[in-house]
Amino acid sequence: MTATGADGRLPATMRAVRFDSVTGDLSLQEVPVRAPDVDEVVVKIAACGICNSDLDRIDGRVTPVLPVFTPGHEAAGVVVAVGERVSLWAPGDRVVLAAGRECGHCAECRVGGGPDDCADPHLMAVHCDGAWAEYVTTSATALVGVPDSIPLEQATVLSGSVSTPYGAIDTARLRPAEAVGVWGLGALGTHLVQLARICGASPIIALDPRPVARERALGRGADVALDPANRQVTSYIKEITKGRGLDVAFDLVGCPSTFGQAREVLRKRGRLVMVSASPDTQEVGRELPLARNDQIVVGHTGYRVTHLEGVVELMERGRLDIDGSISAILPLEQVIEGVRRMREHDDAPIRVLLRP
């Protein structure tokens, strides 16, 4: 339990947003800063996003694992202290945090698996405290370095809302010139459109009922943006793809209507990727036509540390521009206003960040 502190000034306490799942209260409190274990680091948080999965727990759609905890899992900052066995990181390093860390005792971890192979990864803001706080103590393996050219605020957006769609593209084995459809243009879908463009997908068809989200997708590389509520939508997609249909359909909504629509326009040997779908999204009876056409349905949740490295690389080389992805940066004290803006979709925000 030794910490080689940055300057020996790791404070005893810090400000953190605490969510009490019994009372439903979200409040700023003074809590202890946990000293790093031998293979852990302490990161001073520069900013942390407010994600829909935070809102799922705060609004009671998902039962939290911990009764009282600090939310927030899309964070970046600067290393201020490292455990005695940590050699990869040193105080002063700029880093983005992966939400998952290895459990340390599953079969994969016992053979040195690390967070990308762990069978039971522990998630920030689910199994342990998150980053709506001044400091986070986490595993040294859960960090990716951020070059000086990338602002830390933008790095927070790479964690989760860019790395998850990047991982979904990996799952889909997307190739150049493949026709892609993206259902749902929130943070993940909007970034998926950008990344599909980088990968050479063509055409890219973006679908969302909100005109502002469709307009944004056109600005980020979609060839066509459609309202899925339009009765003609499937025949439009057939027409745009010259009658072939889609090679890859990404469903980021996960309800029977989007799944059904995506399946209907999937070409022979097409792949349908359900991103972060909940288990109840598949209806019985959909499988038969999928099998007949050699089509593949796969699920995709979250991202691996290697995906986070990939999007940092794309951004550093100027391939990926997420300038417009931060809708607002609020001080930690205004957490309730930030949660309200994300919950009520004020101007369809991509990310609202909290700054300690």
How far apart are CB 351 and Zn ion at their closest, in Å?
9
Strand order in the sheet with 224-226: 224-226, 204-207, 180-183, 246-251, 266-275, 296-300
| Rg of the Cα atoms in the chain | 21
Residue 108 or residue 223: which is nearer to Zn ion going by CB? Answer: 108
How far apart are CB 43 and Zn ion at their closest, in Å?
17
Member of 17, 46, 75, 109 binding Zn ion (CB under 5 A): 109
Member of 6, 31, 106, 218 binding Zn ion (CB under 5 A): 106
Q: How far apart are CA 290 and CA 260, in angstroms?
A: 11
How far apart are CB 107 and Zn ion at their closest, in Å?
8
* Residue type at position 112: G
Does position 103 bind Zn ion by CB under 5 A? yes
Does position 51 bind Zn ion by CB under 5 A? yes
Let me know: does 194 contact 320? Beta carbons within 8 Å: yes
CA pseudo-torsion sign 34, 35, 40, 46: positive
Does position 118 bind Zn ion by CB under 5 A? yes
Return the range that interacts with Zn ion (CB under 5 A); candidates 33-41, 58-66, 112-120, 186-194. 112-120
Residue 65 or residue 103: which is nearer to Zn ion going by CB? Answer: 103
Does position 270 bind Zn ion by CB under 5 A? no
How far apart are CB 114 and Zn ion at their closest, in Å?
9
Question: Burial, 279: exposed, middle or buried (Cβ in 10 Å; 0-12, 13-18, 19+)?
Answer: exposed
Cis amide bond preceding 203, omega within 30 = yes
Which 8-state DSSP code applies to residue 121? P
Does position 167 bind Zn ion by CB under 5 A? no
Does position 123 bind Zn ion by CB under 5 A? no
Does position 26 bind Zn ion by CB under 5 A? no
231, two tokens: 């009765």
Does position 133 bind Zn ion by CB under 5 A? no
Q: How far apart are CA 247 and CA 242, in angstroms?
A: 12
Let me know: does 48 contact 159? Beta carbons within 8 Å: no
Residue number with the smallest Cβ distance to Zn ion: 51
Does position 252 bind Zn ion by CB under 5 A? no
Let me know: does 178 contact 197? Beta carbons within 8 Å: no
Does position 184 bind Zn ion by CB under 5 A? no
How far apart are CB 155 and Zn ion at their closest, in Å?
14
- Which residues sit at the interface with Zn ion, rule CB under 5 A? 51, 53, 102-103, 106, 109, 118, 160
